Amino acid sequence: MASDTDIATPDSRWRRPLAAALKRLLWPFRRAPVAAPTETPSLLRRRRHHGRRYSPLTRRILLLNIVPVALLALGAVYLSDYEDELIDAELASLLVQGEMVAAGIGEVAVVGGETTVNRLDADAARQLLTRLVHPTGVRARLFSETGELLGDSALMSDAGRIHSVPLPPPQDQANDQSEERFGESIADWIARQLSRADRYPQYVERSNPSVRDFPEAASALRGFNASAVRVTSDGRLLLSAAVPVQRFKQVMGALLLTRDNRAIAASLREVRYDMLTIAVAALGITVLLSLYLAGTITQPIVRLARAADVVRLARDTRPEIPDLGRRGDEIGDLNDALRSMTDALWQRLNAIESFAADVAHELKNPLTSLRSAIEVAARPDLEPDRRAKLMSIVVDDVNRLNRLISDISDASRLDAELMRGEVKPVDLQALLSDMARHYTNTTANKSGVTVEFRVAANPPFAAHGHDGRYGQVFRNVVDNALSFSPPGSRIVIELSRETRNGPFVVTIDDEGPGIPEDNLESIFQRFYSERPTEHFGQHSGLGLSICRQIMETYGGSISASNRKAPDGRIVGARFTMRIPAAGRGA
């Protein structure tokens, strides 16, 4: 069979429009202009919301979901492999039909016998050819063994037959048929544009054809079946099959059957129509589902973005982030994270405002006292003794301001340092024993107070956190206990553990006056300070607040309570610190 195996490439004129369409789908929005440094946030927000005509995310979802349907539609349009299969099936059918007709001619229209040379009876062969081929609609040509054309079914008359001619249809039916023929002509034109007919040789109709014009007929004269595909001037395919006409294995001629591809084109047209119908239905469903999916994604994101802008631009009020946590998906998780982040930011802002107000209040008292003392000490007629007392007050107030500013600076830096600090196992026994020894030899000895350290648990004592920060907590608590402990009393530091693999418990007991029951929690607030008169001004009231902040950062806790005698009398204060262990098996 004559055929061409080269695959035709798409015409280059289709590439640029396709590339442009893909570019518009992939980049459907214009880039927002770069904002000038003087533009306000509200102007930026308006530009961001109004600079896009359509949602880029929606366009991308549509594109990704439409591409498979588009590929299905392209496959339905081309169907080149299916067309090749139909052509092969049609050629095989022509060969079978040709063998049947050639067998009939070889039996009936032959002159000669088994022992003599046989030859075709031209007249009988032409009559038989007309009768056998006419009902099938196939054009048949019969060539002699010398290659001359003996008969052509398209040129031979069908004498003696009754011919029927259909009447013209009514006007409405004629209009319907004209519309149908118009649709078929469009479909045939599209099929011709998509067909790879350029791989087949051109068919030329000759007035006196011979075997030389049909290589497949020449193969039949040599005793072989052959087939070929050619293309006509109007773009249709012409299928031909040639078989030898023989008797007693003697080739007496060649029979050539030809048929156009109208049946194949009609079959392809029906398949294309069905597949395109499915593709259009799938495209509609895909677009609707894509829009629904894009809406469930883009609309919450737009709401969250607008709410974030409102929160960012808020001044006096506290706007709320919409609650989308009930969605149960990643957008719900994002919403919960944004709400938690917003709450944390507002808490931090409120804490900063409260801290600033407390700082201003705490600084105002020593400054007022300092100003009054300086104004009085500046009088020229003031007695030297009184001036000396006022200058002592000035020195005390300056020292108080210095301590207050140092503690405020430490408290303001604490958050950042805790986040950046390295977390590692801390040996609580070594830390507490060294600290107790230090207090025994220095501060506690001067105050007449004994510091004892006890261990009520089995090693190891590896805690989760940072030794420097835990040391700061223990020192603040011990210093606080020293300020309330009378001479000759003692402070007991005890290390224990609640349960196996549970947190460590550090208790620091003193023998001071205790803590008012109403203030057991408020003592951990910033700038709270209720101390004996002799210690007034020596503490900023930030120590216990810093201790709680450190403990909570590392997952622990700190609380205060009063120790009581059997008769209910308060015999001292107790601070309890629970510290997480370093690792599950510690």
pLDDT tens per residue across span 307-321? 888 887 777 777 778
pLDDT tens per residue across span 375-415? 888 888 888 888 888 888 888 878 777 777 777 776 666 66
Cβ atoms within 10 Å, residue 73: 18
Q: What's the pLDDT band for 94 if we cut at 50, 70, 90?
A: very high
379: left (phi over 0), alpha (psi -120 to 50) or beta: beta
Strands 450-455 and 250-260: unpaired
Q: What's the pLDDT band for 579 if we cut at 50, 70, 90?
A: very high
**Which tops the pLDDT comparison, 5 or 579?**
579
Q: What's the pLDDT band for 184 if we cut at 50, 70, 90?
A: low
Q: What mean pLDDT comes out for the span 440-460? A: 81
pLDDT score recorded for residue 297: 81
Closest of 211, 161, 187, 217 to residue 2, by C-alpha: 217
Quote the distance between the C-alpha of residue 212 and its chain's center. 66
Q: What mean pLDDT comes out for the span 350-362? A: 72
**Which tops the pLDDT comparison, 32 or 336?**
336
User: Who contacts 409 (Cβ-Cβ below 8 Å, separation ≥6)?
Assistant: none
Q: Which residue type sits at 175?
A: N
Q: Which helix (H) or strand (E) holds 585?
A: none
Q: What mean pLDDT comes out for the span 271-277? A: 80
Domains of the chain: 40-78+279-315 (no CATH), 82-157+171-260 (3.30.450.20), 320-420 (1.10.287.130), 421-586 (3.30.565.10)
pLDDT score recorded for residue 117: 73
Of 28-37, 181-190, 490-499, the range with the lowest mean pLDDT is 28-37
Beta-sheet strands, E only, within 232-300: 237-247, 250-260
β-bridge mates for residue 230, sequence order: 238
**Which tops the pLDDT comparison, 412 or 505?**
505
- Could you give the CA distance from residue 482 to residue 225 in angstroms, rounded to a whole number? 118
Structure tokens at 52: 């896009």
Cβ atoms within 10 Å, residue 511: 20
Q: What's the pLDDT band for 575 if we cut at 50, 70, 90?
A: very high
pLDDT score recorded for residue 173: 57
Q: Which residue type sits at 493?
A: I
Query: Nearest-5° angle of CA 463, CA 469, CA 474?
Result: 85
Residue matched to tokens 């007709």: 101
pLDDT score recorded for residue 474: 92
pLDDT above 60 for 283: yes
Of 205-219, 331-345, 392-406, 534-548, the range with the lowest mean pLDDT is 534-548
pLDDT score recorded for residue 577: 93
Q: What mean pLDDT comes out for the span 265-283? A: 82
pLDDT score recorded for residue 533: 46
pLDDT tens per residue across span 288-300? 888 888 888 878 8
- Could you give the CA distance from residue 171 to residue 126 in angstroms, rounded to a whole number? 42
pLDDT above 60 for 177: no
Q: What mean pLDDT comes out for the span 14-43? A: 46
Q: What mean pLDDT comes out for the span 471-489? A: 88
Q: What mean pLDDT comes out for the span 132-138? A: 82
Q: What mean pLDDT comes out for the span 215-221? A: 91
Of 84-93, 189-198, 511-520, the range with the lowest mean pLDDT is 189-198
pLDDT score recorded for residue 454: 92
Going from the C-alpha of 237 to that of each of 196, 199, 234, 265, the distances in angstroms are: 10, 11, 9, 10
Helix (H, G, I), strand (E, B) or coil at 346: helix
Q: What's the pLDDT band for 43 if we cut at 50, 70, 90?
A: very low
CB 438 within 8 A of CB 515: no
**Which tops the pLDDT comparison, 164 or 213?**
213
DSSP state letter for 513:
S
- Could you give the CA distance from residue 121 to residue 255 in angstroms, rounded to a whole number? 14
User: Who contacts 205 (Cβ-Cβ below 8 Å, separation ≥6)?
Assistant: none
Looking at every residue in the chain, the average pLDDT score rounds to: 77
Q: What mean pLDDT comes out for the span 412-441? A: 80
User: Who contacts 249 (Cβ-Cβ below 8 Å, separation ≥6)?
Assistant: none
pLDDT score recorded for residue 179: 54
Give the orientation angle of helix 122-133 with respect to helix 80-108, to 10 degrees: 140
Q: Which of 168-172, 217-221, 244-248 has the highest mean pLDDT?
A: 217-221
Closest of 82, 90, 80, 101 to residue 227, by C-alpha: 90
Q: Which of 205-209, 230-234, 574-578 has the highest mean pLDDT?
A: 574-578
**Which tops the pLDDT comparison, 500 or 43?**
500
pLDDT above 50 for 417: yes
Quote the distance between the C-alpha of residue 382 and its chain's center. 81
**Which tops the pLDDT comparison, 165 or 410?**
410
Q: What mean pLDDT comes out for the span 90-102? A: 91
Percentage of the chain with pLDDT > 70?
Answer: 74
- Could you give the CA distance from residue 101 to residue 245 in angstroms, rounded to a whole number? 9
Q: Which of 157-171, 179-193, 215-229, 399-413 has the highest mean pLDDT?
A: 215-229
**Which tops the pLDDT comparison, 319 or 166?**
319
Of 163-172, 273-282, 327-336, the range with the lowest mean pLDDT is 163-172
β-bridge mates for residue 557, sequence order: 578
- Could you give the CA distance from residue 86 to residue 222 in angstroms, rounded to a whole number? 28
Percentage of the chain with pLDDT > 90?
Answer: 14
The model's pTM? 0.46
3-state SS string over 103-135? Answer: HHHHHHCEECCCCCCCEECHHHHHHHHHHHHHH
**Which tops the pLDDT comparison, 152 or 113?**
152
**Which tops the pLDDT comparison, 200 or 184?**
200
> How close are the terminal C-alpha atoms of the chain, in Å?
85
Residue matched to tokens 């003592």: 523
Strand ordering across the sheet containing 139-144:
149-152, 139-144, 250-260, 237-247, 226-231
